[in-house]
């Protein structure tokens, strides 16, 4: 399979998420896809695959997960986020509900603390 986003789009993804970290806020998948000027077809699917790539990179480098700042309409990431965390040994709970929300909040807090003020680095 080819990469879901180009190298330039991946770099823009990281900068956009770092900007969110600077502001200590999350960003919805659709807004993130718009910010990256991703076009159909399957732009959200391609975005989530790129976010999974970013999670794997951050995890391998022992860094907080910048991709935790990307969320769905519910305010939480999709189930694939939690499934990937389970695969990586970072989480063993459900894909939704209060336990997932607590885990996500902790991941966001770590991401903001680590990644804020790193835009452009």
Question: Which whole-number Å values give the CA distances from 60 to 44, 69, 74, 89, 102, in the listed order?
Answer: 24, 18, 28, 12, 23
Whole-prediction pTM: 0.93
Confidence of residue 118 (pLDDT cuts 50, 70, 90): confident
The pLDDT value recorded for residue 120 is 44
The pLDDT value recorded for residue 117 is 82
Q: Say if residue 1 is exposed, middle or buried (CB neighbours under 10 Å; 0-12, 13-18, 19+).
A: exposed
Taking only the tens place, the pLDDT of each residue in 37-95 is 999 999 999 999 999 999 999 999 999 999 999 999 999 999 999 999 999 999 999 99
CA 103, distance to chain mean position in Å, is: 14
Provide the angle, in degrees to the nearest 10, between the axes of the packed helices 79-87 and 98-115. Answer: 80
The pLDDT value recorded for residue 2 is 61
């Amino acid at each position: 399979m080819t990469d879901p986003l180009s190298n330039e789009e991946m770099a823009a993804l990281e900068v956009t998420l770092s900007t969110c970290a600077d502001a200590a806020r999350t960003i919805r998948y659709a807004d993130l896809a718009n910010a990256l000027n991703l076009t159909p077809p399957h732009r959200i699917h391609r975005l989530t695959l790129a976010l999974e790539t970013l999670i794997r990179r951050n995890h391998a480098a022992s860094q907080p997960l910048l991709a935790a700042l990307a969320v769905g309409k519910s305010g939480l990431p999709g189930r694939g986020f939690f499934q990937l965390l389970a695969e990586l040994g970072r989480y063993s709970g459900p894909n939704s509900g209060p336990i997932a929300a607590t885990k996500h909040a902790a991941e966001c807090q770590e991401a903001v603390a680590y990644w804020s003020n790193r835009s452009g680095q």
